[in-house]
């Protein structure tokens, strides 16, 4: 019976693919998926003896799942907790199945999935279309069905499928298609995250209509880094290619500009055992530092639970942590990922996160824009030497509007723009009410179609607005 149902599903999927369905027909990712993914923050840490709290291990995911459930992340919409590369043992098991590294994941993935599910969350896992993953662990080439079945039997809910180590582009494309079909054949709902267009692009123009038939979201561009130059390059690339990629995004299939590394907290190791004033003296006299009091010892030193963060300042200098975005740049990333209808995967350490970063990442009104049910991706309307203006059509004839100040010198700059042209002349016609969501929320009032609006934007920062028709 189950086999017959699976066969039927497969026939249905194959038929749908042949019939050029608009989106992968698995009913998933109707809005951009949200969650946490280990890569940008934790990379390929495998030495748990030396770095027990930073290595890619069962413990890391259990601790993140605990935080996600207990500290408002799940309730804000971040439902997937995703394992990236480096979770595997170096070889497959005797039956040819992928297996987790037994020392780092002693309970195995099934047990971890059960734990994650018990917290009301979903588990994501990682594999690769080629013979090896990008970090050199076993890839899924020639094992697509077996690996899909293994993931389904473990209770996995999302697969990030990387594109390293294929012999040819044909093999890469075929692998992405076959894994999509293999996941569907399992009968389990598994969101399928691809990097297919990114690996094709240097040689071939991606066929997004086809990619959308197989994938729930797809990476187009390089990995995000924890730096302003990386965020800028992703935004520039997206604006440059918007004529091709914006129209393809929608419920079931999204352009993926990669993880949100937004975090402004610098965790202190227990060994630091320094007072706040010592740290100030060593790391940034005269700068505007703040701190989270959590973890402060009775002797006034800051222990491993402490969290030091620079507040509202513009220098991108790295001091003791590896966090490259200023407050304004973090605001820009959050605002622009909402405008771009981007899958919202954080890659940060939820055990050490500043109240400001948490406020930003859990901001209900901004998340509502990211998750807007109309599912239309936003686009750049205007750009000059100093400013970029973006808009995103929302349900209920509303629009999200972002003004980014790309100057990296000077102070806040005023940008004035006419409301007449927003939404092709419809957003504020005949009138609209405007609310600012970022960097702080406030009602801006009611405007008519022929009005202009002025906003003040910090260097590398963004003002995010919601325009509601009246």
CB of 309 closer than 8 Å to CB of 354: yes
Q: Known catalytic residue: 25? A: no
Closer to ligand GLA at the Cβ: 224 or 428? 224
Q: Where does this chain touch ligand GLA (CB under 6 A) — which range of 130-138, 227-235, 343-351, 410-418?
A: 130-138
Residue 139 DSSP class:
P
d(CA 213, CA 227): 33
Closer to ligand GLA at the Cβ: 133 or 326? 133
d(CA 211, CA 216): 9
Closer to ligand GLA at the Cβ: 289 or 337? 337
Closer to ligand GLA at the Cβ: 160 or 392? 160
Q: Shortest approach of ligand GLA to residue 82 CB, angstroms?
A: 10
Q: Shortest approach of ligand GLA to residue 371 CB, angstroms?
A: 23
348-377 residues in contact with ligand GLA (CB under 6 A) are: none
Q: Shortest approach of ligand GLA to residue 39 CB, angstroms?
A: 5
Closer to ligand GLA at the Cβ: 325 or 422? 325
195-254 residues in contact with ligand GLA (CB under 6 A) are: 195, 223
Give the up-direction half-sphere exposure of residue 180: CA atoms within 13 A in the CB hemisphere.
Answer: 30
Among 85, 226, 356, 372, binds ligand GLA (CB under 6 A): 85
Helix (H, G, I), strand (E, B) or coil at 125: strand
Pairing verdict, β 217-219 and 191-194: parallel
Q: Where does this chain touch ligand GLA (CB under 6 A) — which range of 6-14, 133-141, 282-290, 356-364?
A: 133-141
Q: Shortest approach of ligand GLA to residue 147 CB, angstroms?
A: 16
Among 29, 48, 64, 84, binds ligand GLA (CB under 6 A): 84
Determine if 71 is a binding residue for ligand GLA (CB under 6 A): no
Contacts of 105 (CB under 8 A, 6+ apart): 57, 58, 87, 112
Chain CA centroid to CA 60, Å = 18
Please give the size of the binding site for ligand GLA, defined by CB under 6 A: 9
Closer to ligand GLA at the Cβ: 134 or 156? 134
Q: Which of 162, 226, 258, 372 is catalytic?
A: 162
DSSP notation for 194-226: E-HHHHHTTTS---HHHHHHH-SEEE-SPPP-S
Q: Where does this chain touch ligand GLA (CB under 6 A) — which range of 129-137, 274-282, 334-342, 427-435?
A: 129-137
CB of 224 closer than 8 Å to CB of 261: yes
Among 79, 162, 356, 391, binds ligand GLA (CB under 6 A): 162
Q: Known catalytic residue: 162? A: yes
Contacts 24+ apart (CB under 8 A), 274-283: 274/301, 274/302, 275/300, 275/301, 275/302, 276/300, 276/302, 276/308, 279/308, 279/320, 283/319, 283/320
Q: Shortest approach of ligand GLA to residue 376 CB, angstroms?
A: 26
Give the up-direction half-sphere exposure of residue 164: CA atoms within 13 A in the CB hemisphere.
Answer: 14
Catalytic sites, residue numbers: 162, 223
Q: Which residues bind ligand GLA (CB under 6 A)?
A: 39, 84-85, 133-135, 162, 195, 223
């Amino acid at each position: 019976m189950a086999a017959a149902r699976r066969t039927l599903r497969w026939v249905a999927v194959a038929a749908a693919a042949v019939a050029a369905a608009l989106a992968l027909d698995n009913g998933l990712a109707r809005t951009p998926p949200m969650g946490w993914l280990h890569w940008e923050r934790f990379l390929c840490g495998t030495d748990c003896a030396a770095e027990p709290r930073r290595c890619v291990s069962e413990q890391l995911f259990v601790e993140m799942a605990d935080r996600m459930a207990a500290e408002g992340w799940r309730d804000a919409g971040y439902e997937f907790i995703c394992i990236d590369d480096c979770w595997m043992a170096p070889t497959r098991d005797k039956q040819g199945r992928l297996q987790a590294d037994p020392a780092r994941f002693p309970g195995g993935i099934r047990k971890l999935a059960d734990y994650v599910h018990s917290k009301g969350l979903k588990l994501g896992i990682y594999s690769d279309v080629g013979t090896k993953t990008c970090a050199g662990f076993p890839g899924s080439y020639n094992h697509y069905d077996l690996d899909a079945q293994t993931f389904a039997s473990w209770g996995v809910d999302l697969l990030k499928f990387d594109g390293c180590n294929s012999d040819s582009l044909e093999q890469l494309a075929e692998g992405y298609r076959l894994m999509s079909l293999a996941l569907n054949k399992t009968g389990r709902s598994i969101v399928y995250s691809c990097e297919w267009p990114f690996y094709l692009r240097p040689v071939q123009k991606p066929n997004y209509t086809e990619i959308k038939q197989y994938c729930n979201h797809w990476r187009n561009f390089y990995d995000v880094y924890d730096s302003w130059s990386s965020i800028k390059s992703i935004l520039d690339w997206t604006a440059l290619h918007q004529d091709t990629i914006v129209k393809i995004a929608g419920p079931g299939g999204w352009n993926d500009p990669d993880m949100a590394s937004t975090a402004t907290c610098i965790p202190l190791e227990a060994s630091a055992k320094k007072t706040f004033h010592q740290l100030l003296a060593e790391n940034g006299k005269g700068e505007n530092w703040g701190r989270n009091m959590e973890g402060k010892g009775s002797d006034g030193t800051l222990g491993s639970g402490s969290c030091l963060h620079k507040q509202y300042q513009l220098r991108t200098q790295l001091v003791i942590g590896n966090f490259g975005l200023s407050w304004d740049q973090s605001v820009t990333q959050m605002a622009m990922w909402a405008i771009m209808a981007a899958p919202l995967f954080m890659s940060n350490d939820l055990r050490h996160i500043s109240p400001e970063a948490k406020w930003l990442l859990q901001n209900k009104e901004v998340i509502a824009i990211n998750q807007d049910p109309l599912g239309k991706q936003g686009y750049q309307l205007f750009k000059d030497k100093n400013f970029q203006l973006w808009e995103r059509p929302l349900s209920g004839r509303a629009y999200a509007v972002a003004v980014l100040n790309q100057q990296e010198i000077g102070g806040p700059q005023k940008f004035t723009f006419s409301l007449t042209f927003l939404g092709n002349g419809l957003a504020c016609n005949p009138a609209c009410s405007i609310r600012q969501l970022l960097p702080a929320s406030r009602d801006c009032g009611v405007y008519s179609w022929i009005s202009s609006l002025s906003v003040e934007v910090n260097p590398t920062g963004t003002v995010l607005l919601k325009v509601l028709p009246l």
